[in-house]
Amino acid sequence: MNSLSTPSRLLTAFVFLALAWLSLPNCMAADKQLRIGSLVPKNSLYHRQLMDIGEAWRAAQAENSKYVVYPDGSQGGEAEMARRMRIGQLQGALLSVVGLQEIEPSITALQAIPMLFRSWEELDYVREKMRPSMEKKFLDKGFVVLAWGDAGWVRFFSKDAALKPEDYKKMKFFAWGSEPDQQAIMKSLGYTPVPLETSDILPAIQTGMINVVPSTPYFALATQIYTSAPHMLEINWAPIVGALVLTKKTWDDMSPATQAAIRTASEKAGVQIRAKARQEVDEAVDAMKKRGLIVSRPSAEQMREWTEFAEKLYPRIRGTMVPADTFDEVQAHLKDFRTGKAK
């Protein structure tokens, strides 16, 4: 008769398996995984650049390293991806300001102030001036910024034509579910935001749940938003700014050689993303126009209305959507750039 009871046998078996696992060759027991999430469409410029970064990382790692990119929002919205990084389900993500603000709120200064930037040159100047302090803030929150990018100017795509701010009050806007301050401001001005995830945009506009989608032309083309919202207002409302971030824990687990390799690949990807994304704004608009997109260009008087409307929002945005000190810093850098005092 076996002297060991059933619980004892189970415990013995467990200890044996644990010891067997610890005795496996190191290359098997310490497989490295790098899982990156994003909303970017599969096979898009952004997805391809993420894959290139992965090749550089894999080349610097052991044979058993595994690199996976989850595009198309398959890991949830941007706020959800930030949460997944914190609990270790993702090691990194390519996010816009919508997701980055879940980590560091001051990043909103680059995207949440409408009609602030008049050109890509202005955005580049301000971002580079703020980059060292911004990256330090992310590092203090446990994240390493590897690359900066952007995805074009936000335009308004709607079911019906609209030219003035007043025209949009009768419509229902797509709004990011993770931006309650923005929704509160919109409601106070007589607009109707409908908080959704990006994966819900197309069915929502098809069913009439929303009538307007603030979107970059490239995203509107890639997701076919324009087929249900065929009117685009040609104003540069705000740039979509983004960054590739990794958790500091993931970064610290890399060797110095691996860190150098992924840093170089990421910087290169950031340059490629910024250059190509800006070119694709006009290319995407042209492609959609050939398929039925109707572009409305505001008159000089209508543009003044939009500018005045945007500037009236600034006191509401400062201190709520954008921290007051960061809001003031952006304004100061822009003033230097526009008055020729840029350094």
pTM above 0.95, yes or no: no
343 within some domain:
no
How confident is the model at residue 23, as a pLDDT? 39
Q: How confident is the model at residue 327 (pLDDT cuts 50, 70, 90)?
A: very high
Q: What is the pLDDT of residue 61?
A: 83
pLDDT in the model for residue 341: 74
What average pLDDT does this structure show over 288-308? 97
**Mean pLDDT (the chain, rounded):** 89
CA 303, 308, 310, 314: dihedral to nearest 10 degrees?
160
Range of the domain at 175: 8-338
φ, ψ of residue 228 in degrees (nearest 5): -105, -15
Stretch 217-222: mean pLDDT: 93
174-187 pLDDT, tens digit per residue, is: 998 768 889 999 99
| Length of the chain counted residue by residue | 343
pLDDT per position as a tens digit, 26-49: 333 345 889 999 999 899 989 999
Asked if the structure places residue 228 within a domain, the reply is yes
pLDDT at 5 over 80: no
pLDDT tens digits, one per residue of 57-91: 988 986 678 899 999 999 999 999 999 999 999 99
Q: What DSSP element (H or E) covers 303?
A: helix 300-317
Residue 1 lies in a domain: no
Query: Regarding beta strands 239-247 and 92-96, do their DSSP bridges make them parallel or antiparallel, or are they unpaired?
Result: antiparallel
Strand 155-158, strand 212-215: pairing: antiparallel
Cβ partners under 8 Å of residue 218, min gap 6: 44, 151, 152, 277, 280, 281, 284
Structural domains in the chain (count): 1
* pLDDT score recorded for residue 95: 97
Q: What is the pLDDT of residue 31?
A: 59
Residue 3 lies in a domain: no
134 Cβ neighbours under 8 A, 6+ residues apart: 104, 106, 107, 145
Q: Considering the chain, what percentage of its residues have pLDDT values greater than 90?
A: 80
- Give the DSSP H or E segment for 95: strand 92-96
Q: Which of 330, 324, 327, 310 is nearest to 185 (CA)?
A: 310
Indicate the angle between helix axes 324-338 and 120-140, nearest 10 degrees. Answer: 150
pLDDT score at 7:
42
Query: What pLDDT, on a 0 to 100 scale, did the predictor assign at position 9?
Result: 46
Mean pLDDT of 113-138: 96
Tokens 């198309």 -> residue = 72
Ramachandran angles phi, psi of 235, nearest 5°:
-130, 150
In this predicted structure, the answer to whether residue 228 has a pLDDT above a threshold of 60 is: yes
Mean pLDDT of 2-27: 40
Give which of 191, 193, 164 is closest to 306, Cα–Cα.
164
Q: What is the mean pLDDT of residues 292-296?
A: 98
Distance CA 249, CA 91 (A): 9
In a 10 Å sphere around its CB, with 0-12 CB exposed, 13-18 middle and 19+ buried, how is residue 233 labelled? buried
- Which residues pair with residue 68 across a beta bridge? 35
Distance CA(334)–CA(343), nearest Å, equals: 12
Residue 2 placed within a domain: no
Name the strands in the sheet holding 231-233, side by side, starting at the edge strand that comes first in the sequence: 192-196, 172-176, 212-215, 155-158, 231-233, 294-296
15 found inside a domain: yes
Looking up residue 87, the CATH number of its domain turns out to be 3.40.190.170
Q: Give the Cα separation of 118 and 238 in Å (integer).
A: 9
Taking alpha carbons only, the member of 105, 104, 148 closest to residue 123 is 148
pLDDT, position 160: 96
Which stretches of 177-315 are assigned E, i.e. beta strand?
192-196, 212-215, 231-233, 239-247, 294-296
* Residue 184, domain member (yes or no): yes
Q: Is 145 helix (H, G, I), strand (E, B) or coil?
A: strand
Mean pLDDT of 263-270: 95
Which tokens hold the place of 189?
Answer: 């001005």
Task: State how far the Cα of 230 lies from the Cα of 54, in Å rounded to an integer.
Answer: 37
